Amino acid sequence: MHYFSQLCHYDHPWAHVVIGMWHKYPNPHCSHVVTIDTLDRSVDPETGVIRTERILGCKQKAPLWVVKLFGGSEDAFVREVSFVDPRTQQATITSVNLSLSQFATCYENIRYYPTSGHRTAFQQTAEIQSRMALWRGAADKLEGWLVQRFEQNAQLGKMGFTDVLRSLWESKEGQAAC
C-alpha cells in the first residue's frame, strides 16, 4: 500500500472553487482526461447536498511492461463520486480506477473547505494498493487444495499397490502350495 497526500490553498472563495470544479476539464495541463460523463446526480431536499457520480475517460500511454503483464490499452476509466454541501461548505470528491482494477486500486480523496472568506484549502490523499494480497490468498488456497489432492492420491496409490502385491504373490504362493 502506498499513500500520497498534499495540502495547498487557492486564493479564491469556496463557492468559486466549487463552481470551478465542474469546469476543470478539458485542461491543457491535464490533457489525459478526454471524456467526462455524469452517470447520476441528486439534490437532497432535506440537506441540500448534491451528490454526483461521473465517469472520466483518460488517454495515457502505459509502459510496455505494464501492458505486457496486465494487458489493457491507453484508454482508462475512473469513477468519481462527489458531494457538495453548501451548508457546511464542504466539497469532497472520491475517485477510483475502473481499468485494471482487478490488479490494483487507486483511491483518491479530495476535499475543498474554506479557511477564510477568500481562501480555500485543497486536501488530497490517495491510497494505491495492488491486489497481490488477494492473489496470495488464492495461491495459498490452490496450494492447500493440491496438497489435499496429492495426499488422497498417495493413499489410493498405496492401497492399490498393496492389492497388486497381494494378488501377485499370494497366487504364486498359492500355486507353489499346490
Residues in touch with another protein (CB under 8 A): 7, 14-15, 18-19, 22-23, 25-26, 33-41, 43-51, 53, 55, 57, 77, 79, 81, 83-90, 92, 94, 96, 98-99, 101, 109, 111, 113-115, 121, 123
The minimum distance between CB 8 and another protein, in angstroms, equals 13
Q: By C-beta, is 47 or 153 nearer to another protein?
A: 47
The minimum distance between CB 39 and another protein, in angstroms, equals 6
The minimum distance between CB 64 and another protein, in angstroms, equals 23
Q: Which residues contact 25 (CB under 8 A, 6 or more apart)?
A: 33, 36, 56
Q: Are the beta carbons of 54 and 84 closer than 8 angstroms?
A: no
Q: Which residues contact 50 (CB under 8 A, 6 or more apart)?
A: 41, 42, 43, 44, 82, 83, 84
Give backbone dihedrals phi and psi of 167, rounded to 5 degrees, phi first: -65, -35
The minimum distance between CB 134 and another protein, in angstroms, equals 12
Q: What is the dihedral angle through the alpha carbons of 87, 78, 6, 86, rounded to the nearest 10 degrees? A: -10
Q: By C-beta, is 2 or 87 nearer to another protein?
A: 87
Q: By C-beta, is 24 or 158 nearer to another protein?
A: 24
